[in-house]
Chains A and B, each alone.
Chain A
């Protein structure tokens, strides 16, 4: 599922970007491409859980090290963007 979407030869398959970004600068620590065709509801939940834990580990580690950097995980698909924006529209 992960990195399989990095194959650049075929850009027609729907894909999402999984990124951890630093919240002040919005720079990415990493960007992974996920082929959406492999995401079932179950694996999508696993993907989210895994990355939320990773985000928490990043932030807790920064806190432990007394560094000001804080990170958020984004699953960046057009669908995710629309859901995020529309969720405020009821």
Chain B
């Protein structure tokens, strides 16, 4: 994401959800609000998308979500800003105009970032959103759950062989072919 030049179309088509923060539950509280989409003109607004990505990783996390739960509207304002960015990067404009848009949104994100820097860290007495992994070597609960898993799986296997033998017989359905272009679908932009 720190590269000077935007990625190729194929990379973008397969990885843009990661750019939006989906899957990065260590940093981002995912609420579905995004700053761009699959059809955004990332090649034109690459600098803005890089800045929005950094903002998302840093200021759309648990700390900001806690502040929102405590009544601060920072989260809503950053969501609204994301919505504006998403609309802006869907438009094709000339380079000069794109640079102006980028600097405008960057300044607004910086103001929100400064505000979020002053939020208190999430207090330890409140449960974290993300489940933390146990670090102990032996964990009785984990051991017990594995035993339960193995017993359940064994029971399912016995049931299949003794009581549900019809599931082992070959399917009666006939596969039906769907004619589709050998080259597959193409992305429209």
Contact = CB atoms under 8 A, between A and B. Distances in A.
B95 interface: no
B1 interface: yes
B144 to A, nearest CB: 8
A88 B42 CA distance: 14
Interface string A19-33: 001011010000000
B131 A11 contact: yes
Chain A interface size, under 10 / 10 to 19 / 20 to 34 / 35 or more:
20 to 34
Interface stretch (B30-38, B65-73, B113-121, B162-170): B30-38
Contacts of A24: 37-39
Contact of B142 (A12, A21, A74): A12
B123 interface: no
Given A64-B178, A85-B1, A11 B133 contact: yes
Given A23-B38, A74-B23, A85-B18, A59 B133 contact: no
A35 to B, nearest CB: 11
Contact of B184 (A21, A56, A78, A84): A56
B15 A84 contact: yes
B133 A7 contact: no
Nearest to A9: B145
A63 to B, nearest CB: 5
Contacts of B15: 84-85, 87
A12 B120 CA distance: 29
A57 interface: yes
B23 A80 contact: yes
B17 A60 contact: no
Contacts of B185: 56, 59-60, 62-63, 70
Given A10-B145, A10-B149, A59 B184 contact: yes
A72 B13 contact: yes
Nearest to A62: B185
B172 interface: no
Interface string A65-78: 00000101010111
Given A10-B145, A12-B134, A85-B18, A60 B181 contact: yes
Interface of B: 1-3, 7, 11, 13-20, 22-26, 32, 34, 37-39, 131, 133-134, 139, 141-142, 145-146, 148-149, 178-181, 184-185
8 contacts: A9-B145, A57-B178, A60-B180, A60-B181, A64-B180, A84-B14, A87-B15, A88-B3
